[in-house]
Structures are given as structure tokens and as C-alpha cells.
Amino acid sequence: MINWFGKLTGGLKKTSDKISGGISDIFFGKKIDAATIEDLEEILLLADMGYQATTEIIKKFSAQKVDKAADISAIKQKLADEICTILKPCQQELVFSNETPQIVLLVGVNGAGKTTTIGKLAHKFKGKQISFIAGDTFRAAAVEQLKVWGDRNHIKVYSGTSGCDAAGLCYDGLNAAIKNGDELVFIDTAGRLQNKADLAEELKKIVRVIKKVIPQAPHHTLLCVDATGGQNVLDQVKTFKEICGVNGVIMNKLDGTAKGGILVAVAHETKVPIYYIGVGEGIDDLQEFNAQSFSRSLLGL
């Protein structure tokens, strides 16, 4: 537990240094007044919380009867509570039914961490009979990368030749997985094709083919996003939801940014479940998203 919390606070350090450190600077020896509130607003915006979430947090914070000369930790506590209220609806557990195989489709732009997340998730769910389908047939390196994660976890990887039809590979891979009695199948996909329309077409085709094999699948379509992408991340959530009915988000690379507030913006704007957060490149660097721990860590509490 200590290790888990340590990883979370470590992973969010860049963002929390900015937010928590900034708040300490603003309120040190000062009262809560219009000027300090304005500075506070700027800090939240700079952390990429977005205009709407920031406005809501500030409004609620200002409306509370906070002692004008409240100590800094009381201020941080109140802000953490407001942020937690926004995040809470997005805290959901990724669950699988007993019906097998359960199919998880990973989507997202290039570099968002899809392949890495598959490796990390397989580790989380070890004990189940898992397989991977290397659906990013666009880049040979992507198949190799998935195989490395597969080898590490002793997991079978269904792959085709480079440049082969991804939907066709999914069809064959799923049938092989069923035959093999696999319980959990993660499907990797390409994040970049010639253009957005091509990517949308390919993903739709993959989903259609998956449904041909298993009508209820994919049981989860998870969107990986890169937290360093700023407000772009919001667009990605909306776009991929439209294309392939994303039902959950995994926000990676929170360790690499001081703008981890983007998660708050995503929660506020889209209300999409956020199943996990990525706080590093290692196999253990994927954490279940917990609204309270996350908001407390942001505030350095």
C-alpha cells in the first residue's frame, strides 16, 4: 500500500510540485482574497485543468466559508475535496464477466501507450489465460514490441505479416483464441494511418469483424491517451468515442508532465470512466484510478 501510494505521488510529482508548490507560494502569509484567488485560478489553468473545471473549482472554493486566514494545508484540503468531487464519477473498476473469451480493444493515437498498456494490463490480470493480437500491422516494430511484452509475461501473441489486413488478423486471432481456450484477449491497434478518415475506417472494420466472431465483443474498448498532450487529449476522447464507442480511458505518462490536471479536464468535460493511469514505463507503472488518492496527490497531501 505504501509502495502503491509512493508510486502515485512519485508519478504525479511534476504536476503536484507545480500545483501544491504554487499554492504554498500564493497563500504564504496572505489572506484569501480576490487577488490570491486569481493567482490560484492561474495555477489550475497552467496545470491544464481547463477553463470549465477550473471555474467550477474556484467558484465552489470561494463560496465555502474558508477562514480568510486559513492555513495552507486547510486550503489544499478544500481544493482536493472539490477536485475529488469532479473526478469521483470517473472512478470505475475494469471488470470482466465469466463469459470467455473477454475481448479488450486498445485504441489511441501513436505513442499514447497502447502497446505498453497491454503489457502492463496482462501483468495485472495474470492468472487468467491471456493472449495478444498484434493489430498494429502498420509498423513492424509494433509487432516486435508486443512480442517482447508477450515473452516477458509468457503470453501467446497472434500476429501476421507486416502490412497485412488488421481486421483479417483479428478474425483469425480471435478464432485461434477461442480454439485455444483463452480467457482474456487484448487487441493492439495502429494509431496512425494516412489520415483520420483511414484510421476511423480501419477501427470500424476491426470492430465489425470482432462482432462477426463474438457478437458481444469487444467487451471493453479502451482509449489510451498521453497526458503530455494537453487539451488535445479532450479532442481525442470525443473523436474516438464517436469512431468506436470507447467505454474507458487510460491516461498514460502522467509522470512526464507538470500538466497532469488534464485528467481533471477530461473528467469534467467527458465523464468517461478512467480505469487506469500510467506513471512510468515499467510493468508495475499502471495504477487503478482512485479519485481521492489522485486529488490528494495533486495537492501534495
Ligand X SMILES: Nc1nc2c(ncn2[C@@H]2O[C@H](COP(=O)(O)OP(=O)(O)O)[C@@H](O)[C@H]2O)c(=O)[nH]1
- Residues 6 and 10: their CA atoms lie apart, in Å, by 6
Reading the block at residue 288, the C-alpha cell is 487503478
Nearest approach, Cβ of 167 to ligand X (angstroms)? 18
Please pick, from the candidates 150, 191, 261, 300, the single residue that binds ligand X as defined by CB under 6 A.
191
Nearest approach, Cβ of 20 to Mg ion (angstroms)? 34
User: Segment contacting ligand X (CB under 6 A): 69-77, 113-121, 156-164, 236-244?
Assistant: 113-121
* Under rule CB under 5 A, residue 142 binds Mg ion: yes
Taking residues 203 to 232 in sequence order and writing x for each that binds ligand X by CB under 6 A, - otherwise, the string is ---------------------x--------
Query: Which residues are within 8 A (CB) of 55 and not within 5 positions of it... i.e. 6 or more apart?
Result: none
Number of residues that bind Mg ion (CB under 5 A): 4
* Residues in 71-130 at the binding interface with Mg ion, rule: CB under 5 A: 114-115
**Strand, coil or helix: what is 224?**
strand
* Under rule CB under 6 A, residue 257 binds ligand X: no
* Under rule CB under 6 A, residue 116 binds ligand X: yes
Question: Which option in ligand X, Mg ion, none does residue 160 bind, with CB closer than 5 to 8 A by kind?
Answer: none
State how far the alpha carbon of 22 is from the alpha carbons of 72, 152, 211, 300, in Å: 11, 42, 50, 11
User: Segment contacting ligand X (CB under 6 A): 69-77, 199-207, 253-261, 262-270?
Assistant: 253-261
* Under rule CB under 6 A, residue 10 binds ligand X: no
* Residues in 137-166 at the binding interface with ligand X, rule: CB under 6 A: 145
**Among all residues, whose Cβ is closest to ligand X?**
278
- Residues 20 and 179: their CA atoms lie apart, in Å, by 53
CA dihedral over 207, 208, 210, 211, signed as positive or negative: positive
Other C-beta atoms within 10 Å of 128: how many?
Answer: 14
Q: Which of 170, 178, 182 is nearest to 125 (CA)?
A: 182
* Under rule CB under 6 A, residue 255 binds ligand X: yes
Cβ proximity to ligand X, 40 vs 133, nearer residue:
133
User: Segment contacting ligand X (CB under 6 A): 57-65, 71-79, 173-181, 248-256?
Assistant: 248-256
> Strand 274-278 to strand 220-226: parallel, antiparallel, or no bridges (unpaired)?
unpaired
Buried b (16+ CB within 10 A) or exposed e, 183-214: bbbbbbbbbebeeeeebbebbeebbebbeebb
DSSP codes joined into one string, 66-92: --TT--HHHHHHHHHHHHHHHHGGGB-
Please pick, from the candidates 219, 253, 268, 296, the single residue that binds ligand X as defined by CB under 6 A.
253
Please pick, from the candidates 115, 137, 257, 295, the single residue that binds ligand X as defined by CB under 6 A.
115
Please pick, from the candidates 101, 135, 278, 300, the single residue that binds ligand X as defined by CB under 6 A.
278
Strands (E), 108-146: 130-135
Q: Are 15 and 83 in contact (CB under 8 A)?
A: no
Residues near Mg ion (CB under 5 A): 114-115, 136, 142
Residues near ligand X (CB under 6 A): 108, 110-116, 145, 191, 224, 252-253, 255-256, 278-281, 285
